Structure 1
């Protein structure tokens, strides 16, 4: 498997789905069918926080992701956070995600707590943890989505 990329985006639009689609566009993954998985990082795979995804293949293909996403109707605020940590010596690792209609400090605290709890469940020695947080204010009369995703490799044909 190739690299896992951590990407993020936030956007507002007239409907909840349109704001989600626009946030995916900010992250560079709007043209793919996303398939969510739980949270385990395979051994030997690099994780890079890139913000916006490069071209990952033809439109309409499948991308495997771990997704933190929150959408709200304005006025308000949404935040999404994704934390990750690898076991030492290029072993497996974990992603944890939190998303809510709260501020960035709250989701970051909660995602770090979740990651720590997941680490305690495993008999692995973990290296440093990393966190990506995306926050956006929602204006009255719009919907706003904030998201952070880990994208596993490149796209694959869906059928």
Structure 2
């Protein structure tokens, strides 16, 4: 059985890209090249919320991810949420991501709504949803990023 790890982090820095890099570091995936995919979980795949990724392979390799990410210039608040549910009996599943310059309650509500809408499009019987929300206050003069990632397996060589 394959494994998808859900990781999250937030951070502030003097530039938008630096805050994104620092949030990736908080999640443990700063040394990889991320390749985003849409939000379908393959059948017979476990999903585990781990917070910070373990060592997933050599630096510079590719990681396949579903990413919820938002960055804001302070002052303000930034939040990201990732929800998932899988079909019963080890079937496929669905991720849904929401992020924005808003509070944790707003992204939590919207991610549940989005996941329900995605479930209605599929003829699968789903398990109860799981949700991870990351939210952070941005101070004036800084950029702040909040992110939640679903990381598919371990890293793979790019070339």
Assess same fold via TM > 0.5: yes
C-alpha deviation, 1:2, in angstroms: 2.6
SS in 2 for 1:114: helix
Conserved? CA contact 1:2–1:154, under 8 Å: no
CA RMSD of aligned residues (A): 0.6
2:59 aligned partner: 59
2:104 aligned partner: 104
TM-score under structure 2 normalisation?
A: 0.99
Distance, in Å, in 2 between the alignment partners of 1:127 and 1:144 is: 34
TM-score under structure 1 normalisation?
A: 0.99
Give the ranges of 4+ consecutive aligned residues of structure 1 lying more than 4 Å apart after TM superposition.
Answer: none
2:7 aligned partner: 7
1:37 aligned partner: 37
Aligned residues: 159
2:146 aligned partner: 146
C-alpha deviation, 1:128, in angstroms: 1.1
Conserved? CA contact 1:77–1:102, under 8 Å: yes
Distance, in Å, in 2 between the alignment partners of 1:61 and 1:34 is: 9
Gaps of 5+ in 2: none
SS in 2 for 1:126: coil
1:24 aligned partner: 24
Conserved? CA contact 1:71–1:78, under 8 Å: yes
1:121 aligned partner: 121
SS in 1 for 2:57: coil
Conserved? CA contact 2:104–2:133, under 8 Å: yes
Gaps of 5+ in 1: none
2:91 aligned partner: 91
